[in-house]
Structure 1
Amino acid sequence: MAALRGAAVLSPVCSLPRVSHSINSAVTCGSTGLAFQINPLRQAYALKDYRYRCVSLKRRGFTCRALYKPEIQIREEGTPETLEYRVFLIDKSGKKISPWHDIPLQLGDGVFNFIAEIPKESSAKMEVATEEPYTPIKQDTKKGKLRYYPYNINWNYGLLPQTWEDPSFANPEVEGALGDNDPVDVVEIGERRAKIGEILKVKPLGALAMIDEGELDWKIVAISLDDPRASLVNDVDDVENHFPGTLTAIRDWFRDYKIPDGKPANKFGLGNKAANKEYALKVITETNESWAKLVKRSVPAGELSLA
């Protein structure tokens, strides 16, 4: 994505491609070259219900946002805490959509969509199934058994849609660690317990650079705009003032959660501290660019589902 600077307003509307016989088509955002994914089978719906315009990120670059947000429903299939359990997002026409690819990342004015995978004060390790069609949320498994954290996670945990940590990119700022091949994770610190699959509007506050067995696994610290204290926090220093101890607690939780299973503690880059909001926005921008390359098939997708 081109790093355009100095432009206060960008008027082009993102162009939607004609239906083709390819499995997926890329929507190009004006002159920026940033693309996001539209499946031709769902394209008629997208043409009807979405209009996109390019909006500026805080410092550089542009992304696409939805000017009209359709009603999104959550549909559970199977029984919770079973291997078959899946949580799908359903559009208002009753069709399944991907929480990873079909929900816009940015809403403008520094607001982003966050999709909850793991509600606060729960321990089932839920995650977007990146290799399954429509990338539903499921419980992670290991050797055919459902996975649980050794203790509850104390915050809402999930992902930023339309982001991807590129496993071929060695980040020079974080010990050369490679991306973990997943969407960017979010730790939402608000007081309300989210539901699995719920979409919240959040603002980023900081970022932790977790290194898990050599892979870089960003944790964006954010807060829901609906939280009573949301107006009080706008950067990482505000979190320390209004949520004292929270950043340390998040770091320590993710550092230590594998120890009960006999694995070593995770590490953190960037001086073992949370980076500020500006840095978090940089991470979001870069991983959105990586996702755009992924869905345009400019980089190998491997087993990842782009539907």
Structure 2
Amino acid sequence: MATASRAIALASNTMTASCFLPKTPFVLKQGALSFSGGRRLSKRLLFTCNAIYKPQVQIKEEGQPETLDYRVFFLNDSGKKISPWHDIPLQLGNGVFNFIVEIPKESSAKMEIATDEPYTPIKQDTKKGKLRYYPYNINWNYGLLPQTWEDPSFANSEVEGAFGDNDPVDVVEIGDKRRNIGEVLKVKPLAALAMIDEGELDWKIVAISLDDPKSSLVNDVDDVDKHFPGTLTAIRDWFRDYKIPDGKPANKFGLGNKAANKDYALKIITETNESWAKLVKRTIPAGELSLF
């Protein structure tokens, strides 16, 4: 069994309110989300159940890569397993969010958070007992926003009434650097694509890491078109077509088949964070999802 670990820097935020899960006390943190253009979600808060107070988190690989047993676990500074989905805070303040890399750019192994396993490690997806790969490399770093959840019982009236896909919100990070599985990046959202996959709504938040050389140049969807020309179209087309080689139909996109702006992306993050908060407080049935 291969074992490795490396440190990942994180941050946390302020303003607390109590929250508890069975056998697992933690803290709900909240902060109002402001939009540019003068609008404010005064009654809509970002919630973060934050069990991490130290700035370092480690990852530990168990098993060999590209095997059914391979898992990437996350550990706190005491060496105890934590959930990257539930325990890493979503927001860092000032419009900055944590993003967890599942799939490094220019790779094809379909890695994902195991939402139904204890501590929700990253593993390679399977189908009929076989490891899954994309038919071609993905051209961007791909992963998730922690403490978000696309509620499968919620029909989104703005996107053809599609129901959530029962997963955390996906992120496509467009920076130049190839990242590592399990790496946690500080990103700012720029746009949102409403992908509809076999009738399920599967949001793709387009974002950029703050340490990318072009980060200061891009703050909204129009900036992406200016400084990363063709990228939004390429992302949409990649996710539209990647199942076609397997004989499946192309995915569809709502919202006029276009990328929505940053304000809309922040709205989606807020809504899915609210859904996650209901999930971990057990006001919505969890089904087979792991809540620790």
TM-score, with structure 2 as normaliser: 0.89
Report how many aligned residue pairs link the two structures.
Answer: 271
Whole-Å separation in 2 of the counterparts to 1:165 and 1:136: 19
Query: 3-state SS of the aligned residue for 1:72?
Result: strand
User: What SS does the corresponding residue of 1:220 show, helix, strand or coil?
Assistant: strand
> In the TM superposition, what are the counterparts of 1:96-245 in structure 2 within 5 Å?
96-245=81-230
SS in 2 for 1:227: coil
Matched residue, 2:4: none
Aligned residues of 1:113 and 1:201 also touching (Cα < 8 A): yes
Q: Are the aligned partners of 1:149 and 1:257 in contact in 2 as well (CA < 8 Å)?
A: yes
Cα distance in 2 between the residues matched to 1:186 and 1:80: 23
1:62 correspondence with 2:62 = no
- Read off the aligned partner of 1:56 and give its amino acid letter: A
**Cα pair distance change 1:123/1:248, threshold 3 Å:** same
Distance in 2 separating the partners of 1:164 and 1:301: 11
1:262 alignment partner AA: G
Aligned match of 1:299: 284
- Counterpart of 2:27? 27
Amino acid at match of 1:126: M
CA shift at 1:74, angstroms? 1.3
Find the partner of 2:264 among 251, 254, 279. Answer: 279
Q: Deviations over 1:200-253 (max 9, x none)?
A: 000000000000000000000000000000000000000000000000000000
In the TM superposition, what is the alpha-carbon distance from 1:62 to its structure 2 partner?
A: 2.5
**What is the CA-CA distance between 1:23 and the residue it aligns to?**
3.7
Is the contact made by 1:26 and 1:296 (CA closer than 8 Å) also made in structure 2? no
Equivalent of 1:14 in 13, 16, 24 = 16
Q: Provide the C-alpha distance between the structure 2 equivalents of 1:252 and 1:17, rounded to a whole number of angstroms.
A: 41
TM-score normalised by the chain length of structure 1: 0.85
Alignment equivalent of 1:92, drawn from 68, 77, 80:
77
Q: CA deviation at 1:70?
A: 2.3
Asked whether the 8 Å contact 1:140–1:146 carries over to 2, the reply is yes
**Structure 1 or 2: more strand by fraction:** 2
Distance 1:302 1:64, change over 3 A: closer
1:75 to 1:178, Cα distance in 2 relative to 1, 3 A: same
Q: Which moved more, 1:294-303 or 1:58-67?
A: 58-67
Kept in 2, the 8 Å contact 1:120–1:155? The answer is yes
Unpaired segments ≥5 residues, structure 2:
1-13, 35-39
Paired residues of 1:207 and 1:277 also in contact (CA < 8 A): yes
CA distance in 2, matches of 1:93, 1:24: 16
